[in-house]
Structure 1
Amino acid sequence: MAKAILTVGVKLASAQCHYEDFQSKISLLDWDIILFSPDLPESFYSETSEYLGKAAFNDHYSFKLKECTEHWRREIKHAVEAGKTVVVFLSPLEEVFVATGSNSYSGSGKNRSVTRVVDLHSNYQALPIKLSPVNVTGKNMKVINDLQGIIAPYWSVFGDLSEYKVILDKCDGVVCLATKTGDKPVGAIARTKLSTGALILLPDVDFMPDHFIEDVKGANGRFKKEWSKAAIKFAGQMVSAVVELDKAIHSSSEVTPEPVWASGKSYELRRERVLRADLLAAEQRVEEAQKHKEFVQDELKSAGALRGLTYEKGPALERAIIIALKLMGFEAEPYKDSSSEFDVVFTCPEGRLLGEAEGKDAKPINIEKLRQLSMNIHEDLQRDEVTEPAKPVLFGNGFRLTALPERPAQFTDKCISAAKTSSTALVSTSSLFEVSRYLSEREDKVFATACRLSLLRSTGVVEWPEFPDGCGQFASAEAELSVSESPD
């Protein structure tokens, strides 16, 4: 029966291999052999700054990296314990700074600064083994004599194609490959005492040289990229080599898989019962921690919903507007019945308002949406329970994909002129973000009331009240970075 082979971060031109990327949440227990590369995806580096000469990930990619690392560390450990063979190709060590989720503060008022606390993180933390890799490159290597029987068949095919990118200063496994000069470890095998599985660490191989992909002309005359014959041959050799490696690992194991009958309660030892109870309690704690993690993730997603005011459109923008209005003290919700549908109707002791929202990718908000809003006001007034017209408010997110400091005017001149004629308030949602962020971080009923009155009394573009004590959020400088070793 053919072995089920999974590759993670390693692509092979073979139908026998199933590919997943580093961000996958797939279980490794469904596979016999796993080929794994700890290379971090290029997308993780798309929004980075620099700190102490290394990349510093933003919060989004920091938490994503830590989540992926935790997943693979757990899955690789479980796979080896379940008797699987996991082959890791030792790519270069990548060290980056990631957010811890904590900030430290100093100063007050305009001089208040925020320090973002970060940790040093490496791609090798995805492996469930203690390693101290050091970035060094070279090609001259040798197989350790004691492990010739296991490694030699693989090495005879791929030794010349292998290049070490790291040496292993410290490693919990048994060294299987070393530099020819200096005997520095560049490959190792780590096994458990209770299973036939193994974690095999091998020098890196170039899985995607340029000649593995070629342009092939299709029936429609267009060229498409396909695997070359060289790539298919290479993949066939790799599959054969790792299957032989898997056989050699299992045949050399001194552990006999426990028969079903031997695991019965009549053979159970007292120490096993105690440890099994401890394990059950530990699993319950892990389950509770996982539930708490999922709760915090949901809360984190909700906490960032206000940012949608700066870049969203459609229903997502409408939801963010409603959150912002509630922070000001409005009762706000969308309205829909059999004949009418309004983005948001919001009320407060000072009055009643009706709003429409519009987001434009690379344009200002024009008069067209203002006409729709005017029709909605009349339609709303026709309802029996409404006795007077609502104050019309047009929420606009023009140039929504442009950074805030670079955005031109959010509304066209014609839209502003018409809004003044119809007593309509025009609100740029980017300015609403600044107001709502302030209110989300402190209770200020006086400021909230002033914001409500600004909406009710404004015609044309709304000018918000000034922030108390110069607390405008966009005026604050970018948070600095610091390592977590200095939490104070």
Structure 2
Amino acid sequence: MKKITSIGIEIPSNGDNYIKLDSKRSLSESDIVIFSPSFDNSDYSTYESFSASQTYEGKKLYSKSSSVKIIEHSKHWKNEILHFVENGGTVFFILTKREDFYIYTGTKAFSGTGRNQKTTEHVSPFSNYNFISVQTIEFNSASGSFVSPCNNLFIDFHKNFQNYFSYEIYLKGENLQNPIFTTKNKDRILGATIKVKKGCIIFLPNIDLDRKELIKYNPKTHQSIWTPEAIKIGKSFLNNIVEIDKILKKSTEKTPKPDWLKSDAFNLKNVLETEKLIQKNEIIINKKVQENEKLNLLQEEQESLKDLLFESGKLLENAVIKALTILGYKAENYDDGELELDQIILSPEGERFIGECEGKDMKDIDVTKFRQLLDGLNADYEKENINEKAYGLLFGNAQRLIAPDERTLSFTTKCLTGAKREKIGLIKTQDLFGICRIIQENNDSEYAAQCRKAIFEQLGEIIIFPKK
């Protein structure tokens, strides 16, 4: 059975395959996609902290955090859908109501000086149709209730769901050679099919399956659920979508199979036997998919060691903890509400360290993080239960966006001077990755001990690990 993924629109009976518009999910496991750029079920907000809802030139202005997400999500879905279609997928775009609004761009302008200086944050017009990546087509607003099919492939589909169709958008563009729905007077295109490399895009007029009469309240769960009639309509809708997809892939204008053809009166014995084999295979496939999901999680955890090469922030901290564990240390984050440290580290030999991590995009590790480490060492030593001051380790991932063998920077001169004075070890996380790979792949506890010894003996310098 084909997996149908619906994005931004909930189809009755298809809840397990529903994805919110404000997400970054993959379509790699989908066979057919139904996409609606509606913001109705999204968490985007026009409220900034505790202020009132924002507007600009009479239109909605989304908050700074929502603006960032809108830009990221629109880019994600454009790329994801284009990749999906180019590789043979079919996407049904539901032409829901167009929403024009403003978002923060993240850039600022400054005017005046001193106390009179003013900061102006730039905003830019945006639309929910920026989530759709078909540049040669214009999406124009116009609403109406009469939708006319003009393609044999969609006549039965329209007949089944004509009470749920309306239109909010009409299309314009040179590529619209295959219209499938028009207005009553045939003067505007309300739906069309477009071939894109191996796949196909189908634009459908707005369809509303989220009606009051199709939803009921469940007093036990205190949630709204679909009615049995809604489930029936939803399944029929999805069956029609699957049949249209099959025919489009065969490149013939054949009528989709009507629902009544599924009656037992028309069953064929050999077809039923084949269907049982398919169902048996699907059980096996589903089992393998579940196994792969577990393996993917395992692979993701295993690959987290690579974060030493290019990450910063919390992900770099976690990768350093993983690396230290491979080296034989006990390491963990520390936060008691007053003092927060990237790592407290205990060696098998009894040494106690405090670690701080820093990643820089294109620069070297400066003295800012070094000072933070010194403050952490002193604050830790002031605690009543600490009798001996810990040693300091600064883990640096300089020029993290450049391939390791092309990097020329590491720690600034001030860092090097301060480290020598305070006997703090400086460790390049790219070097840490190299030794951890050797230890992990060879289960080499002896080499791990040599590396720990090198760290302790070279405190005050950039740590040079022994060759293997």
Letter in 1 for 2:180: C
SS of the residue corresponding to residue 202 of structure 2 reads strand
Distance in 2, matches of 1:154 and 1:298, equals 52
Checking the alignment, whether the CA contact within 8 Å between 1:29 and 1:82 is kept in structure 2 is: no
SS of the residue corresponding to residue 168 of structure 1 reads strand
Distance in 1, matches of 2:376 and 2:142, equals 60
Q: How many pairs does the alignment contain?
A: 289
Distance in 2, matches of 1:82 and 1:206, equals 29
Cα distance per residue 1:321-370 (max 9 Å; x no partner): 999x96997765446xxxxxxxx718xxxxxx96xxxxxxxxxxxxxxxx
| Cross-structure match for 2:251 | 252
Shift of 1:79: 1.6
SS of the residue corresponding to residue 160 of structure 1 reads helix
| Cross-structure match for 2:228 | 229
| Cross-structure match for 1:80 | 85
Shift of 1:111: 0.8
Q: What are the ranges of 5 or more consecutive residues in structure 2 without an aligned counterpart?
A: 49-53, 254-305, 317-334, 343-355, 359-366, 391-468
**Of residues 134, 140, 145 in structure 1, which corresponds to 2:146?**
140
Shift of 1:119: 2.1
Shift of 1:68: 0.8
Q: 1:44 to 1:12 in 2, by over 3 A?
A: same
**Of residues 127, 152, 155 in structure 2, which corresponds to 1:152?**
155
| Cross-structure match for 1:205 | 207
Cα distance per residue 1:283-336 (max 9 Å; x no partner): xxxxxxxx9xx97x968999xxxxxxxxxxx6687559999x96997765446x
| Cross-structure match for 1:168 | 171
Distance in 1, matches of 2:73 and 2:134, equals 16
| Cross-structure match for 1:44 | 44
Distance in 1, matches of 2:153 and 2:338, equals 59
Letter in 1 for 2:379: V
Report the RMSD for the aligned CA atoms in angstroms.
3.8
Shift of 1:207: 2.4
Distance in 2, matches of 1:77 and 1:299, equals 32
With normalisation by structure 2, the TM-score equals: 0.54
Letter in 1 for 2:158: W
Shift of 1:73: 0.7
Distance in 1, matches of 2:210 and 2:15, equals 18
**Of residues 89, 94, 99 in structure 2, which corresponds to 1:94?**
99
Aligned runs of 1:254-333 on 2, under 5 Å?
Answer: 318-319=339-340, 332-333=374-375
SS of the residue corresponding to residue 44 of structure 1 reads coil
Letter in 1 for 2:239: S
Q: What are the ranges of 5 or more consecutive residues in structure 1 without an aligned counterpart?
A: 255-290, 303-313, 336-343, 347-352, 355-375, 387-488
Letter in 1 for 2:166: E
Distance in 1, matches of 2:83 and 2:249, equals 17
Distance in 2, matches of 1:54 and 1:11, equals 27
Q: 1:52 to 1:251 in 2, by over 3 A?
A: same
| Cross-structure match for 1:9 | 8
| Cross-structure match for 1:430 | none
Distance in 1, matches of 2:245 and 2:372, equals 65
Distance in 1, matches of 2:376 and 2:6, equals 48
Q: 1:250 to 1:153 in 2, by over 3 A?
A: farther
Cα distance per residue 1:91-146 (max 9 Å; x no partner): 111222222222111111011111212222211122121232222211112122xx
Higher relative contact order (CA closer than 8 Å, sequence separation 6+): 1
Shift of 1:158: 1.5
Shift of 1:75: 1.5
Distance in 2, matches of 1:12 and 1:37, equals 11
Checking the alignment, whether the CA contact within 8 Å between 2:44 and 2:66 is kept in structure 1 is: yes
Cα distance per residue 1:185-218 (max 9 Å; x no partner): 21121112x42x2111111111211222223455
Checking the alignment, whether the CA contact within 8 Å between 1:129 and 1:172 is kept in structure 2 is: no
Shift of 1:83: 1.7
| Cross-structure match for 2:387 | 383
Shift of 1:239: 1.0
Shift of 1:58: 3.0
| Cross-structure match for 1:341 | none
Letter in 2 for 1:202: L
SS of the residue corresponding to residue 124 of structure 1 reads helix
SS of the residue corresponding to residue 73 of structure 1 reads helix
Distance in 1, matches of 2:315 and 2:71, equals 17
Distance in 1, matches of 2:244 and 2:11, equals 17
Distance in 2, matches of 1:300 and 1:152, equals 55
SS of the residue corresponding to residue 57 of structure 1 reads coil
SS of the residue corresponding to residue 125 of structure 1 reads helix
Work out the percentage of aligned pairs sharing the same amino acid.
Answer: 25
With normalisation by structure 1, the TM-score equals: 0.52
Cα distance per residue 1:49-102 (max 9 Å; x no partner): 211122222332222111111111111112211221111111111222222222
Q: 1:315 to 1:112 in 2, by over 3 A?
A: farther
